[in-house]
Amino acid sequence: MSHFRQNFITKEWVIIAPERAKRPDQFRSDKGLKVLPEYDATCPFCPGNEHLTPPAVMEIKSGGSWAQRTVPNKFAAVMPELSAERHLEGKYLTVDGFGIAEVVVEHPSHNKDLALLELEDVKGVLRMYKERATELAKNPQVDLVTIFKNHGLRAGTSLEHSHSQIIATAIVPIHMRYWMNQALTYHDDFGECPFCLLLKDELRYQVRVIIDSEHFVAWCPFASKSPFEIRVMPKRHNSQYDCINEAEIDDLAVVLRSLLKKLYNGLADPDYNFVIYSSTVSEGETQYFHWQMTIVPKLTTPAGFEMGTGIFINVMPPEDAAKFLREVSVA
């Protein structure tokens, strides 16, 4: 039966409409598993083409060559040489386009997506996220560091070679402020991190949990906005991703690769976005915010109702999505 569900943190509503649903396996991508070459002479991220990108700001070496590489984004929408000073134009507020945008090249091979990498390479990517987030946060103009990956055309990627991005800005968007303020209000009222409480609740009921590892829980949120949306959260309370320790990196590498491989095998490599959310630099480590990762396969398209109301219609109940993903082999 169709029904509304409310997000515990943000208070946003979604509609779960199972009568409109396909079977979980019918959400498999119809684009087909594309076969890419191991090397592309025109690709700026392939070995030997390093001159096509700005000089690397960080490299992780393996066997004398690079295994992961971070470079400034050559076509960034923000620029580090600008200021974060505010200006009024009549009634309107503007800010110079300050920001630092970097690209993390996840592997030398042109045809290896994150889901298909060896575990040590996934660990290398996660370590690079941590090191670069820590370094970018030292800039006095930076207040938010966002780590994300776009996989596939529907997710907004423009280059096939597997990569992710880190963008540091002085601007903190209103939805992030609202999210943090809601969490702060709950903590002020009840003296507990609402995300920690949410984690305990999901572990108690288990119906939406996909993976329960030593350090992380991955589940399909109760008020998922779209089919197969996944949330990953550390069991240890931390507000910022760059507080992650080595044991957690090792564990997260297993969890993340397993989740992406489940999507790859179970849904035929759908396009997806993932984002790692941390508290702002100025807030630092807080008792009320909990860093987390969201993975969103691009399986449906929001339409007029979503645009008009802000209420998303999800035709795949998260309980069914979680059950399907739990059963997908990662071999």
Active site residues: 163
Per DSSP, 52 falls in state G
Cβ–Cβ under 8 Å, residues 72 and 102: yes
Token duo for residue 275: 């984002």
Phi and psi angles of residue 275, each rounded to the nearest 5 degrees, phi first: -135, 135
Tokens representing 172 are 């903190």
Distance CA 304, CA 210 (A): 31
d(CA 226, CA 27) in angstroms, rounded, equals 12
Half-sphere exposure of 260 (CA within 13 A, CB side): 24
All residues at 6 or more sequence positions from 274 whose CB lies less than 8 Å from its CB, including other chains: 148, 149, 293, 294, 295, 296
Q: Which are the contacts of 189, defined by CB distance < 8 A and separation ≥ 6?
A: none
Distance of CA 181 to the CA centre of its chain: 21
Contact present, 220 and 229 (Cβ < 8 Å): yes
Residue 280 vs residues 203, 206, 276: alpha-carbon distances, Å: 27, 31, 12
Q: Are the C-beta atoms of 194 and 145 separated by less than 8 Å?
A: no
Q: Could you tell me the strand order of the sheet in which 3-6 lies?
A: 3-6, 13-16, 312-314
**CA 3, chain centre distance (Å):** 27
Among candidates 258, 235, 275, 232, which has minimal Cα distance to 129? 275
- Smallest CA-to-CA distance from 253 within 118, 131, 146, 148 is with 118
DSSP 8-state code for residue 267: T
